[in-house]
Amino acid sequence: MPTPEPPQKAEKTDVPERVGAVGSDPWEQMPEDALNRPNLQGADDGAPGIGADTGGAARPDGASPAGDADEASGEDPGRAPSESWTDFLPSPLFVLLLGLTGFAGWMSWQAVELEWAADGTSVTPLVPPLLILLGWIASLAVHEFAHALAAYLAGDRSLRGSAYLRLNPFAYRQAFAGLVLPSVYLCLGAFGLTGPPTYVDWDRIPSRGRRVLVALAGPLASLLLAAALAVAVSVLVPPGNDTTNWAISAMALLCFSNLTAALVNLLPVPGLDGFEVLAAWTRGTWVTTARVNALFGSVAVFAVLWFPGLNDALVNLVYSLFELVLPNPVFSGIAFYGELLLQFWV
């Protein structure tokens, strides 16, 4: 009698096990390349699928979605996309300012206004006052640039790409305090005084020593400009000589203005650079209050120095420094002639 064959077992089919079944690991059931595929299923129903942006959540392989985006775009995640080496280039307006200053200097050197009035009529020169004003605006740009550069190197990176680091005084955040008022000071008082550096975020500068360096950077830049102009005038007018050349007289007055700007700004008065030196070593709400009202302190210092007695004392002090340091004793007279050219309405 034939023996019955044992029942055959059902052959195992290739039907995949259902993902999500109890006791199964969904990540193990997925193909290896599915972890890196873009999510297509959740595009319509809004459900976050594999590779979807889940608010920065880490993937199972430890990679960051944000990091993949930065790697794909070629950008450094630790670098602001707006930063560029052009943030430190001088502004085209500053280059134009220097060009206009040079052209006004050439016209003053040639005294072209006297040639225009060749018929013997008297003439009030207007190009030399323009030369002095343009030169003073360029000096202001250098003064504020020194503050901004020192602040940037000390930790205040908010100034990168700003008008202060690009030497553009016509685009200052506080154009009235940084450009208009110092120009008025020079035209009315014939001495240099800059506005308060209110654009510096002192809280971003960590140490007191760095704050002191930032505060002194402006006066140091003005002092270097005064020294350069003094050397230029001394070379053009050697000892034992005198001149009434308009361009040289304008340079002498700009030297005087930058020197007074460096000296007066050392006063520990709110609105001046010397106050920030003092504020670096003190604490209290009065410092914040003083900075808020810094503009009034600058105006008050100018008003005091504008008085005839104090103004004469300041002028005599600076002229005494000229006679002590410079080899030509007539430098003070040349600077005074530049003052007469500036204040042509007096």
Secondary structure, 3-state, 216-256: HHHHHHHHHHHHHHHHHHHHHCCCCCCCCCHHHHHHHHHHH
Active-site residues, by number, are 144
Report DSSP state, residue 315.
Answer: H
Q: How far apart are CA 203 and CA 89, in angstroms?
A: 26
**Which range has the top average pLDDT, 14-23, 60-69, 243-252?**
243-252
What's the chain's average pLDDT?
Answer: 79
pLDDT tens-digit readout, 295-331: 999 999 999 999 888 999 999 999 988 888 888 888 9
* Domains of the chain by residue range: 88-343
Q: What is the DSSP string of 65-80?
A: HHHHHHHHHT--TTS-
For residue 265, the SS3 value is coil
Residue 111, token pair as written in the block: 């005294």
Q: pLDDT per residue over 102-146, tens digit each?
A: 999 999 999 888 877 766 667 788 999 999 999 999 999 999 999
Angle at 207 between CA 204 and CA 212, to 5 degrees: 95
Tell whether the model's pLDDT for residue 240 goes beyond 50.
yes
